[in-house]
Structure 1
């Protein structure tokens, strides 16, 4: 592995390859994830182009070295860990907007472009990429994990915005998934194959993305409820009655208390009760009508303190608690503890039930536990703080999380609404999809192994297959 890294350094230069222990730690360990491993990469390589990524892959293939694509490091399921060591390929220097086409409403970017920076660049043209993941997220990682965020209710997930991809395969081969029209019937849907593949099939280096027109009017609102079940029921009511919300988020009473413990958010303290956060967008009349309908749903399910903001500053203030939730939890975390944060998604009719059951079970642990979620599409997150050095605590939390996964599957849900599988949920994937489906996925992965392509009649053992 070190020989491969030195060979890459000789070609790319010392400034593109790091052996610094702090860099290796940052690229192999996440403090907001419990899905970490003891191994670290031997080097971090920072390419600037598809050609350089291809060269790196060819050398890693020559030396049979695992490659781990790294975006912003904001994933929580161990998506960028290096269980077999290898070389971490950090795409953050690949940050160029290659082409913006206003008339076609699309943009081609390198994979290391930050989505916030991209939107700041294109919003002057009245366009935006309407997703809302972590503010640090980069386009390549967003595609690799099929990310979403608070705007998924109206705008869908990353897969809905990918036009085409440039991908480097394990042997350094470069492919493009399709051309630039909005629709095509030419060949397999390779966009869907690589979107959500978490770096296991290849390294995404460039992407062409669809863009949306920025709506003319926005508004946000919040409402408090006596119980999480009431809040979830109100959310389901709004969706069932066709209120076209831009976002619909839930934070439980624990989350609201944490916000207050950190001095509040948006210049205020909050009622420590389950709270819905709503976004509206569209025309002026349309937004006002949707606010009225949403308030009626809130009142039907015992909601109170329905507050609406329409100015930019007021909206930012009212939405601040939702945006600061993760950082508020990290701020109060006792030294030596970790946060086990994970997510599931279920059909809307089961949302209130699974949130209530999951809160009840985690509450029995006697540990910090809270719920927040994108309840408009049946996706919620649970976070539990525990001390990993106390085996009883770690085992109890693991059991609680596994029960939540099983519960979601019994409700015809999924073990991951948006976090991805990573190392954290590998064991859950077979439970969800079954052995036959997993075998199809394995076959797809092996089919992109260059040795398999050259020798289709030979089946390689798992340990012989180079990792991408």
Structure 2
């Protein structure tokens, strides 16, 4: 057993003998549902981010919570790392097995266990994806609103505290998870809460595990809030003379209490990118994509009030649609911004950034970021969940060029520190993973020591997704 103590944490690297013993024991438990094949390990050792792949020693495919617990107990007995895997769509190296170990693919936990239509909640296993859930409950008149773009697993969305385009109205995963079933580092199975909409009973363990990125335990089931499918939905696109005008429109809209469901900002460079990629023809100017939910009369009133605000702030003509296929095309174009931006510079590497600031500072943060990108000679495609101050830049660089790589990462660092100086955060929704561990310390300071204490209490041998969130 090799161990190293760094900055107050101990990372234990399992020996080859320990790994071999665990693989033997897991094969006895799972049979062919344990794989050591290079292709399977390669698939499970890399997410969608720029971080280099780090392969696990084996991949386990359990079918129940009890099997997950059995796998963890075997790994814990030999201090072998455990990494949970959902669909692999994370963006900060969350699933990379940087200390080796066993990857637990939760795709086999894919049952929708109970839909409680009267209580507007559902209990699902961790491997159910958001699209699968919505397809299953559509006939009940309900839907689950959190939409991060990718068809992510709901367990992974809980683990990374995901949000997306609907967060301005429906909140993030933090607000929409009622209870979790979690396998702890010693193999115990706990339920963090019941289905009641509120409780003052003890510590809020549900919120502790939401956003824990697999470092405290493995989420195997989740009870989630559901909402009625709106009677009417209307989407629109509107361009503005200036970025400040677009942001001021959003601020005024929210302050006026208009219950907008989605409101997304794309800068001129991103509009040009999606026009090319998605075969659209929007004017290349700062643009808002928006959507209203409610009754037909309510949606019409919301749109009218918003239109008046936008006109006062320099907004141009609206392109409205209520047809499902047109709305789907519009929001698919928004979800495809990363691919559209990559099309600007084919073959380039990509850093997807994720800062969030108070909405009153959003225009300042974006304008300063645009100026910084321009000064460094990088393309500047930006898209943001403008309703909550969160925006993303697609930073395209050539990793074969050491100078350009260095400048790209320095640019990202400056953007994060700019956001922190504006009382923002280094990540609005992607999480910390292995990519933003230094920024966590810059953001939270001494509070990180409390996080370390929680980690040590729940995972004393540091086997749960080691090296993520807290820098070893």
TM-score bucket (shorter structure): over 0.9
Name 1:28's counterpart in structure 2: 45
- Alignment of 1:272 with 2:284, yes or no, is yes
- Secondary structure of 1:204's counterpart equals strand
- Alignment of 1:179 with 2:194, yes or no, is yes
- Once the two structures are superposed, what CA deviation does each residue of 1:407-426 show, in whole Å capped at 9, x if it has no partner? 11111111111110111100
Shift of 1:314: 2.8
- Once the two structures are superposed, what CA deviation does each residue of 1:113-161 show, in whole Å capped at 9, x if it has no partner? 0111101111211111111113320010000011001000000000111
Name 1:383's counterpart in structure 2: 394
8 Å contact 2:214–2:464 — kept in the other structure?
A: no
8 Å contact 1:144–1:197 — kept in the other structure?
A: yes
Structure 2: where are the runs of 5+ without partners? 1-18, 466-472
Name 2:413's counterpart in structure 1: 402
Shift of 1:317: 3.5
1:466 to 447, 455, 463: 463
Mapped to 2, the partners of 1:182 and 1:467 lie a distance apart of 30
Q: TM-score, normalised by structure 2?
A: 0.92
Name 2:112's counterpart in structure 1: 97
Shift of 1:263: 4.9
- Once the two structures are superposed, what CA deviation does each residue of 1:221-248 show, in whole Å capped at 9, x if it has no partner? 1101233232222222222222210010
Shift of 1:35: 2.8
- Secondary structure of 1:246's counterpart equals strand
8 Å contact 1:130–1:212 — kept in the other structure?
A: yes
- Alignment of 1:347 with 2:358, yes or no, is yes
1:129 to 119, 134, 144: 144
Tell me which moved more, 187-196 or 305-314: 305-314
Name 1:441's counterpart in structure 2: 451
**Root mean square deviation, CA, Å:** 1.5
- Secondary structure of 1:199's counterpart equals coil
- Once the two structures are superposed, what CA deviation does each residue of 1:355-392 show, in whole Å capped at 9, x if it has no partner? 11011101222122311010001111111110112111
Name 1:5's counterpart in structure 2: 23
Mapped to 1, the partners of 2:349 and 2:228 lie a distance apart of 41
Alignment of 1:297-312 (within 5 A): 297-312=309-324
Mapped to 2, the partners of 1:33 and 1:402 lie a distance apart of 16
Name 2:442's counterpart in structure 1: 431
1:202 to 217, 235, 249: 217
Mapped to 1, the partners of 2:450 and 2:206 lie a distance apart of 17
Mapped to 2, the partners of 1:86 and 1:219 lie a distance apart of 48
Structure 1 residues 263 and 162, CA gap change in structure 2 (3 angstroms): closer
Tell me which moved more, 177-186 or 147-156: 177-186
Mapped to 2, the partners of 1:398 and 1:109 lie a distance apart of 39
- Alignment of 1:329 with 2:345, yes or no, is no
- Alignment of 1:229 with 2:244, yes or no, is yes
8 Å contact 1:354–1:407 — kept in the other structure?
A: yes
Mapped to 2, the partners of 1:319 and 1:41 lie a distance apart of 36
Mapped to 2, the partners of 1:270 and 1:320 lie a distance apart of 15
Structure 1 residues 173 and 263, CA gap change in structure 2 (3 angstroms): closer
Shift of 1:3: 2.8
Mapped to 1, the partners of 2:68 and 2:343 lie a distance apart of 37
Shift of 1:260: 2.3
Q: TM-score, normalised by structure 1?
A: 0.92
Name 1:161's counterpart in structure 2: 176
Name 1:421's counterpart in structure 2: 432
Shift of 1:329: 2.8
Number of residue pairs aligned between Structure 1 and Structure 2: 447
Mapped to 1, the partners of 2:344 and 2:411 lie a distance apart of 22
2:325 to 300, 313, 329: 313
1:75 to 90, 94, 99: 90
- Secondary structure of 1:108's counterpart equals strand
Mapped to 2, the partners of 1:320 and 1:160 lie a distance apart of 25
- Secondary structure of 1:369's counterpart equals coil
Shift of 1:182: 1.2
Mapped to 1, the partners of 2:254 and 2:52 lie a distance apart of 37
Mapped to 2, the partners of 1:140 and 1:301 lie a distance apart of 41
